[in-house]
């Protein structure tokens, strides 16, 4: 279970065998069944979750009951509500499993201890946070400047496997589009490729 985590970490920083052994004691493995919640909107987020196998979605429900997905987390990705985790405030998001999912949970206390005991992990998380900020900036710009077709194609090109694992209505929610718009875009793309 930890090999996926170590493979992901070692793409960014190097760890010794001893550091890997120490790290395992900081994480709690958890299995989630499809549609099972890891976090419910309004609760306090207590963990960072690393996805070993499966697929999670992070989302909020607005006053009208509409779901707004802000993240899909598949193998090798982290999911959490960082604002809730670091401030202790109630979470603005829910996180649940789209598929049966195995995660490694890292509590805030263990996160802080991990950074103290293994300095390379501080660099690892800094790299993750930088990449996350860049991704959010790109996504914000895309939301306001790209057409529905451009948004869909960008996601399909950057994460083709996601398009086969996630239902169309969830893709629509993530892109801020109506499901009918996704259907229309897919038909248009199919027509253009057939020509």
Mean pLDDT of the chain: 93
Stretch 106-113: mean pLDDT, rounded?
A: 97
Using CA atoms, how far apart are residues 38 and 155, in angstroms rounded to an integer? 25
pTM of the model: 0.91
Confidence of residue 185 (pLDDT cuts 50, 70, 90): confident
Q: What is the pLDDT of residue 195?
A: 66
Each residue's pLDDT tens digit, 11-43:
999 999 999 999 999 999 999 999 999 999 999
Using CA atoms, how far apart are residues 26 and 45, in angstroms rounded to an integer? 17
Q: What is the pLDDT of residue 192?
A: 78
Architecture of domain 2-145: Sandwich (2.60)
Q: What residue segments make up the domains of the chain, in order of their start?
A: 2-145, 146-195
Q: What are the distances in angstroms from CA 139 to CA 115, 136, 169, 190?
A: 29, 5, 19, 25
Going by C-beta distance under 8 Å and a sequence separation of 6 or more, which residues neighbour residue 120?
13, 14, 15, 19
């Amino acid at each position: 279970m930890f090999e996926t985590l170590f493979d992901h970490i070692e793409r960014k920083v190097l760890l010794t065998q001893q550091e890997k052994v120490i790290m395992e004691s900081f994480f709690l493995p958890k299995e989630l069944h499809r549609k099972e919640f890891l976090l419910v909107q309004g609760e306090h987020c207590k963990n960072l979750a690393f996805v070993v196998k499966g697929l999670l979605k992070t989302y909020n429900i607005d006053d009208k009951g509409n779901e707004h997905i802000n993240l899909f987390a598949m193998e090798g990705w982290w999911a959490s509500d960082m604002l809730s985790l670091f401030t202790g405030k109630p979470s603005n998001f829910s996180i649940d499993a789209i598929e049966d999912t195995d995660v490694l949970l890292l509590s805030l206390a263990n996160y802080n201890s991990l950074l103290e005991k293994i300095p390379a992990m501080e660099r690892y998380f800094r790299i993750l946070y930088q990449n996350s900020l860049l991704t959010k900036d790109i996504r914000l710009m895309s939301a306001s400047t790209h057409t529905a077709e451009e948004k869909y194609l960008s996601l399909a090109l950057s994460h083709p496997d996601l398009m086969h694992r996630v239902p169309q209505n969830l893709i629509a929610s993530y892109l801020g589009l109506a499901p009918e718009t996704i259907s229309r875009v897919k038909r248009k793309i199919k027509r253009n490729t057939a020509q």
